[in-house]
Amino acid sequence: MIFGKKDHLVGLDIGSSTIKVAELKTAGKEYTLHKFGMSRIAPGTIVEGRVVDMEGLAKEIKALFKAQKIREKNVAISTGGHSVVIKTINTTTQAEKELHDTILSEAEQYIPYDIDDVNIDYQVLGESQFSPEQVNVLLVAVKKDLVAEYIELTQMAGLNPRIIDVDTFALQNAYEILPYESQEKVTLLIDVGASKTSLNILKNNSSLMMRDTISGTNQVIEALCDQFEITVDEALQAVNSEAGGVVSVSDVERVRLNVAQSWCSEICEVVNTYQSGANDERVEKIVLSGGGAFVQGFKEALLSELEADVSVINPFEGLIVNERKFPDAFTTKAGPLAPIAIGLALRKIDDK
């Protein structure tokens, strides 16, 4: 096994409700799950993608690494939400240096922030379907203060952040190693986290459209608090079906279904926008991940609105897994929450 190389990274997914960590062993094109763990964090630790309790979260990350006995300090992390802008743009085919200068000079019109306040990166996707003289370019801009915040956080946890990725790309990395997935079909990856939802429409491993929204599973908590005038702790008790809950199970399910239907409406708008300009190509597959994948009624709502196969991701199926160390019951339950951490763990230090 090639392990402990200088380019080896641990994937650290810092979510607003749960942190996840993954470490893989690699041998050629095969990946073995070496370490994986999750830890819930206190509500309010991260708000709208920004870290509120830096010291407390750094301690949680340290504790998770210690609990999983992970010694490697080089990590790949990711960001998302409104502080990250992802756009597919078209520009004239040019030599590499001229293309670089053109993209940087034109980027300002696509980014709703001062150009001096963001870090910009891009990737050429290939020739435009509309003209051989045009190329499609994936433009990514991340606010510099957000990057600095996450670097400081990981360093406080005693780690070395070597790559800062985007949640959507990390999820796509994990999806692409699944052995049974057809890459030729137009596929929508949906990751519903606690405070944001990431959408990525792709075909042949190339992204065709990406969107982030502020929807997430926290909406269930907020709706319960508003409708029944209860505290966040009481709402969490109700959602987790804990003893002493002040809201009935049927009321919780009704609220969940209403929230899931609102997610479905937003997703349908994105799909319709894509399909209206995609030369009759339609989304054929939908793959769910994140905590929202567990919300009853969400999958069914998508099935009723969109003519596509809907499934829930299990990224462990793309890895060699020791079932004695990681039993099926664990990987099935953790699967929807794991892909971003696993996608990050697939990165190497020198990756573009």
Dump the DSSP string for 133-182. Answer: TEEEEEEEEEEHHHHHHHHHHHHHTT-EEEEEEEHHHHHHHHHHT-TT--
The pTM of the full predicted model, rounded to 2 decimals, is 0.90
Q: What is the pLDDT of residue 346?
A: 96
Spatial separation of the C-alpha atoms in residues 45 and 51, rounded to whole Å: 6
Q: What is the pLDDT of residue 99?
A: 85
Q: What is the pLDDT of residue 106?
A: 83
Number of Cβ atoms within 10 Å of the Cβ of 223: 18
Return the axis-axis angle of helices 144-156 and 54-67, rounded to nearest 10°.
50
**Beta strand pairing call for 74-79 and 160-166:** parallel
Residue 186: which residues within 8 A CB-CB, separation 6 or more? Answer: 201, 202, 203, 208, 278, 281, 282, 283, 284, 285
Distances (CA, A) of 235 to 194, 219, 242: 14, 11, 10
Q: What is the pLDDT of residue 88?
A: 81
Q: What is the pLDDT of residue 86?
A: 85
Question: Per residue of the chain (352 residues), what is the pLDDT tens digit?
Answer: 234 456 789 999 999 999 999 999 988 789 999 999 999 999 889 988 889 999 999 999 999 999 999 999 999 999 887 788 888 888 888 888 888 888 888 888 888 888 899 998 888 877 776 777 888 888 889 999 999 999 999 999 999 999 999 999 999 999 999 987 777 899 999 999 998 999 999 988 888 888 888 899 999 999 999 999 999 989 988 988 776 678 998 999 999 999 999 999 999 999 999 888 776 789 999 999 999 999 989 999 999 999 899 999 999 999 999 999 999 999 999 999 999 999 999 999 877 5
Spatial separation of the C-alpha atoms in residues 148 and 141, rounded to whole Å: 14
Buried b (16+ CB within 10 A) or exposed e, 148-177: ebbeebbebbebebbbbbbbbbbbbbbbeb
Residue 269: which residues within 8 A CB-CB, separation 6 or more? Answer: none
Q: What is the pLDDT of residue 5?
A: 52
